[in-house]
Structure 1
Amino acid sequence: MKHNSYKILGATLMASALMLSACSTDDSGGSATGSNSKEGGENPAFQEEHKGGTLNLAAANGFVGGLDPQINYADDGWQVFQFLYDGLMKLGQTSGDKSTTPTPDLAEEIPEPEDDGKRYTFKIRDGITYSDGHELAPEDVKASFERVFRISGPTSSSWFGVIKGADKCIDDPKTCDLSEGIDVDDDARTVTFHLTEADPDFLYKLGTPHASILPADSPQKDVGSDPLPTTGPYYIESYNAKTKMIAKRNPHFKEWNHLAQPQGYADEIVYNFGVDGQNATTKVKNGDIDWMFDPVPTDRLGEVSAGPTASQFHTNEQLAMEYITMNVNEKPFDSLEARQAVNYALDRSAMAKVYGGEAVATPTCGILPPGFMGHREDCIYTTDPGGEWNGPDMEKAKQLVEESGTKGEEVTIYVPNVPVRAEIGKYVQSVLNDLGYKASLKKLAGSIHFNYIQNTENHVQMAYTEWYADYPSPSAFDQVLLSCASFHPGSDSSVNIAGFCDEDIDKMMEKASKAQITDEDKADELWAEADRALMEKSPLAPVFTPKRVDFVSERVGNYHYTHMYNALLSQFWVQ
């Protein structure tokens, strides 16, 4: 899970802050969207008359993970890297479903998997030039993946350990040689990957910033704040994490696939740091800044989401889940009935209101987010099961607690010590007390909460947390969060926080995963079955899908939002 540096601030919103405007589509090809409306259509072909100008952005802080695309694991950097770097594949740079679909980027086309999904051969495009003037070569691909291991990239082993020879790179990163797993034919301009086993998510992983292709002679270390040569429409002229980043148009860039890497509109992008949410909101409203990374403060939402600025206010669902996890190996949640009772009892609408209302959160009771393969509106734990969540069933919940024999037991809920999350924790505490438990709340510093609740030695019974996708595959939720392989007792890196392990469901997920390679429709059915089977076991309680709020200046046109990487900044018109 990449670090989500975009946070909703504050504990509650006044009702006036939730009165969002209806959808108003402009003539830019994008749209200004209220909480109940859809985003714009596909990103149109480049329109020369809108080229030029300076796009001004603002954030409270510089990038969490620096400028190295193979190191940075945070959403602020990944958003900017979209217009700087390229991989063999890329998720579509557009609004809508294509933003979760791999498309060929530096590769000419998506190759058919061979050898039962264990071999992929990519033909590298001709004529792609880095911002420093030298041409991209096939050997850069092999060198880039070796660099991922040599610099100990955060996903080197978990994502790319499936490449033949990667085991040696994991053992000795500094001398990494992937000759066994990556063949390069310079004359044919092909690169062939040999995998130890089929990986249905391999193409998704090749479309992330961690798979960016860099010059073969790039430094074999984290470059920190030093820019690397880019293949995208911009390069970084200067960067200071305390003040600003300036990106200029890459003079060598020529658009090769509009869906993968569209030409940028602004001649210059200036990203100003040290601008807090209050100041940024005022600057956007006044037209001094065109877009702000940080959330609009809760006391300003009503002001900017209605009236003259309503068309500048956009909300979009994220590929994420806020949820309550229940430890199946600790009392009282070693009882299936106790876990199901919690799922029936939670008023997800009330919890969404605490978070900020349906402007920023959509109640849900399924694990897979909307838009994912396998997602179904098929809620089990509600007053009228079988469709969308429509309300809690407290009577059923209390009945299950009685059947479980756990009434009166003590339960501690762990939450991050952040106002809005603490308020949600208080609500869950009250629900547990209403069910007959003796509930208490434990607040942990946000910097340690996620690691703490993963370690079984801490005997965490229940916790409130979040999960954001690294790539849009159902395995990134169901398997990562709830497979037997993701449970590591005694470790701070055990994202299966519930400690859930069901070998039969594991087999269902494995079958669904394999089907992705050959039959996506069948895989969609199998993932839906696996997701429902997980929810029947109730190791966690999905609460809501969070939304991203974007506030842009009046002059910005062509607003588009990708499900994975947020607003497409390079596609904003500023003239």
Structure 2
Amino acid sequence: MPLRAHSGRKGCGPGHEARFKRLFLAGGCALGLLTAGSLHAQTPQPRKEGQLISPSLLAAHRGGTLRLVAAASGGTLDPHINYSGKYINLFAVVYDGLTTFKKVPGPDGNTVVADLAETLPAPQDGGRTYVFTLRPDIHFSNGRTVTTADVAASMRRIFRVGSPTAGSFYSAIVGADLCLKEPATCTLSGGVVEDPAHRTITFHLSSPDTEFLQKLAFTHAVIVPADTPDHDIGNTPIPSTGPYAIASYDPNKSLVLNRNPAFREWSAEAQPDGYPDTITYSFGIPDEAAVTAVENGQYDWMEGSIPMDRLGELGSRYTAQTHVMPHAAMYFLPMNVNLPPFNVQKARQAVNYALNRKAMVIFYGGPGIARPLCGMLPSSLPGATDFCFYTKGASPSAPAPRWSAPDLEKARQLVRESGTAGQKVTLITANTSVDMAMGTWVRDMLQSLGYQATLRPLSSSVAFNYMQNTSNKVQIALKDWSADYPSPSNFLDDLLGCENFHPNSDSSINIPGFCDKRIQALMDRAKTDVSLTPQQSEALWREADKLVMEQAPIAPLIEKDTVLLTSPRLGNFFYTTVNQLFFSQVWVQ
């Protein structure tokens, strides 16, 4: 599929011969108008625990239909399996876990609070034991009461269905090692102990996990009925506890959420009652058309990155509807360390040297919303990357403080030394405008290094799963990634941890198939050593980051902010750092 070249906007000189230059300048001029300072978002005051919405405010804004739109659906409805931001953020108003992140705007949204549990338990036994007490009288959308049996079964189900984070998030639970080896017979015996009479669930860990409460707050640990089948439920909704329940789903057309008749608000911080009566998610609208539809109020929000050629008009004509918001996220190129040509370290390092990260910034939207990234950790995270190996004049032995320019001469030299020149390489991307623009440039870069490179775009609904499965023999891919919660582990351990490589599975988020025991030991210590200060933990993550980038299984491109476009009728713009636009709290009437 050819990439459409864009002519320059007013003030941009036309007549450039190269397609890349036309794209580069179009993006640059557009982003002269779109910067973080030119946009704004009204931040509502969050409710405090126990504080009710005033009856008059609730009456004025409760009701109506919130209309979401995307180019494609997001795959399975199974919350223990789906790992797409497209649905995970939506699932936040459908399902609940024992813990969750506080539903408030701003940095306080990173705070873990009790959800289905009455309170957050203090860790016992040196951080190896957590005892939760289940709130009473909470019901699933099918009317059944939530019990400790549902909690225990849900934790087992994470392993039985092969959740993508079963290993990285929940492997510390006693018995998890056996569950990872034999998922079908998983019992977590001794690891998850229920006491129905006292409504308690006790977790025993084989080693401390300093992020255990955050991991229980993630979508893959939501509580579902105990009789939920131990396989991917696909397009069939599972009964839920949140203010909304999934009413219907056609992956080719739409997803519909209605109010959950069994819901009652037990904590405004954890799961506030919702304003819209219905939330609809329409699929099959290309991103260019979706921008126009949201601008005009036909839809209220669009999923995905805004096409580069539309950013200028948003910054000049639709600033009240456009919001640039912080979020720990990046674009990167995972390279398969088990397949030619990237099973050779010098070939992977060559890609890192050759990348023009300034071009990638422009393709995403410009310096107002993106910045070059040299390592695995975006700047908003603790222990953020503070070095750059792969830039002009730098090397792993003599890093620069930041990226400045590509080094094509060094990159070509490494390709020659690797013995991989002339090999065929296929780059996999999603078929969105931004990914296609970046992917076309990367393909051309690979060709300039001496490879026979081709670009293969896939529907955004299947691209991520395809990249993960080793059966598809993906050599290199383009992928974006964002934090499940604000921690370096979400980028280093999730994407490159040994426990996250599962051959022949669509749930293998370690796409490069990378495993280094020394690096894994550093990451494990950062996650489990409760004696470490925050500064010491950050130092471990930073050391792991440097060791990873020396081996270069991934080529980071950029870190990015989130650009959200909403309709003129959407009010009470409510953005949380974890779940982004929080759909239950916006007003549509």
Question: TM-score normalised by the shorter chain: which range applies?
Answer: 0.7 to 0.9
- Select the residue among 364, 379, 394 that pairs with 2:407: 394
- Select the residue among 350, 365, 376 that pairs with 2:374: 365
**What TM-score does the superposition give when structure 2 sets the normalisation length?**
0.78
AA of the residue aligned to 1:439: Y
> Within 2, Cα distance between the matches of 1:148 and 1:496?
18
CA shift digits 1:25-56 (9 cap, x unpaired): 46x425xxxxxxxxxx8678764315413132
Matched, 1:316 2:325: yes
AA of the residue aligned to 2:452: S
Stretch of structure 1 that moved more, 98-107 or 375-384: 375-384
Matched, 1:439 2:448: no
Matched, 1:416 2:425: no
Matched, 1:204 2:214: yes
Match of residue 34 from structure 2? 20
> Within 2, Cα distance between the matches of 1:424 and 1:487?
26
Match of residue 527 from structure 2? 513
AA of the residue aligned to 1:52: R
Match of residue 544 from structure 2? 530
Secondary structure, aligned partner of 2:528: helix
CA shift digits 1:503-530 (9 cap, x unpaired): 4433332322223686434212321232
Q: In the superposition, relative to structure 1, how do residues 310 and 183 fare at CA in structure 2: closer, same or farther (>3 Å)? A: same
Q: How big is the shift at 1:222?
A: 4.5
Q: In the superposition, relative to structure 1, how do residues 571 and 388 fare at CA in structure 2: closer, same or farther (>3 Å)? A: farther
Matched, 1:83 2:96: no
Secondary structure, aligned partner of 1:438: coil
Q: How big is the shift at 1:480?
A: 3.9
Aligned residue pairs, count:
551
Asked if structure 2 preserves the Cα contact closer than 8 Å seen for 1:55 and 1:290, the reply is no
> Within 2, Cα distance between the matches of 1:333 and 1:221?
34
Match of residue 566 from structure 2? 552
Secondary structure, aligned partner of 1:306: helix
Stretch of structure 1 that moved more, 450-459 or 109-118: 450-459
Secondary structure, aligned partner of 1:236: strand
- Select the residue among 119, 137, 140 that pairs with 2:147: 137
- Select the residue among 271, 274, 279 that pairs with 1:269: 279
Match of residue 258 from structure 2? 248
Asked if structure 1 preserves the Cα contact closer than 8 Å seen for 2:369 and 2:560, the reply is yes
**What TM-score does the superposition give when structure 1 sets the normalisation length?**
0.79
Describe how 1:259-298 pairs up with structure 2 within 5 A.
Answer: 259-298=269-308
Q: In the superposition, relative to structure 1, how do residues 183 and 554 fare at CA in structure 2: closer, same or farther (>3 Å)? A: same
Q: How big is the shift at 1:349?
A: 0.8
Stretch of structure 1 that moved more, 198-207 or 328-337: 328-337
Match of residue 79 from structure 2? 69
Q: In the superposition, relative to structure 1, how do residues 69 and 410 fare at CA in structure 2: closer, same or farther (>3 Å)? A: same
Asked if structure 2 preserves the Cα contact closer than 8 Å seen for 1:376 and 1:528, the reply is yes
Q: How big is the shift at 1:86?
A: 0.5
- Select the residue among 219, 222, 225 that pairs with 1:215: 225
Q: How big is the shift at 1:571?
A: 1.3
Stretch of structure 1 that moved more, 171-180 or 15-24: 171-180
Asked if structure 1 preserves the Cα contact closer than 8 Å seen for 2:117 and 2:133, the reply is yes
Match of residue 123 from structure 2? 113
Asked if structure 2 preserves the Cα contact closer than 8 Å seen for 1:413 and 1:440, the reply is yes
> Within 1, Cα distance between the matches of 2:284 and 2:340?
46
CA shift digits 1:219-244 (9 cap, x unpaired): 55554444433322223344444554
> Within 2, Cα distance between the matches of 1:457 and 1:151?
21
Match of residue 11 from structure 2? none
> Within 1, Cα distance between the matches of 2:526 and 2:289?
48
CA shift digits 1:324-372 (9 cap, x unpaired): 4556788887887776565444321112223443466432112012333
> Within 2, Cα distance between the matches of 1:242 and 1:331?
36
Q: How big is the shift at 1:88?
A: 0.7
> Within 2, Cα distance between the matches of 1:454 and 1:199?
29
> Within 2, Cα distance between the matches of 1:159 and 1:539?
22
> Within 2, Cα distance between the matches of 1:217 and 1:111?
27
Matched, 1:228 2:228: no
Q: How big is the shift at 1:433?
A: 7.3
Asked if structure 1 preserves the Cα contact closer than 8 Å seen for 2:424 and 2:453, the reply is yes
AA of the residue aligned to 1:416: I
Describe how 1:185-196 pairs up with structure 2 within 5 A.
Answer: 185-196=195-206
Stretch of structure 1 that moved more, 483-492 or 251-260: 483-492
Q: What is the root-mean-square deviation in Å for CA atoms of aligned residues?
A: 4.2
Matched, 1:92 2:102: yes
Q: How big is the shift at 1:318?
A: 4.5
Asked if structure 2 preserves the Cα contact closer than 8 Å seen for 1:58 and 1:280, the reply is no
AA of the residue aligned to 1:321: M
> Within 1, Cα distance between the matches of 2:555 and 2:162?
34
> Within 1, Cα distance between the matches of 2:238 and 2:472?
42
Q: In the superposition, relative to structure 1, how do residues 556 and 466 fare at CA in structure 2: closer, same or farther (>3 Å)? A: closer
Between the two proteins, what is the percent identity of the paired residues? 38
Asked if structure 2 preserves the Cα contact closer than 8 Å seen for 1:59 and 1:294, the reply is no
Q: In the superposition, relative to structure 1, how do residues 20 and 200 fare at CA in structure 2: closer, same or farther (>3 Å)? A: same
Q: In the superposition, relative to structure 1, how do residues 514 and 554 fare at CA in structure 2: closer, same or farther (>3 Å)? A: same
Give the gaps of 5 or more residues in structure 2: 6-22
Q: How big is the shift at 1:291?
A: 1.8
Give the gaps of 5 or more residues in structure 1: 1-8, 31-40
Stretch of structure 1 that moved more, 221-230 or 102-111: 221-230
> Within 2, Cα distance between the matches of 1:132 and 1:399?
59
CA shift digits 1:120-143 (9 cap, x unpaired): 211222343334444332332113
Q: How big is the shift at 1:290?
A: 1.9
Q: How big is the shift at 1:536?
A: 4.2
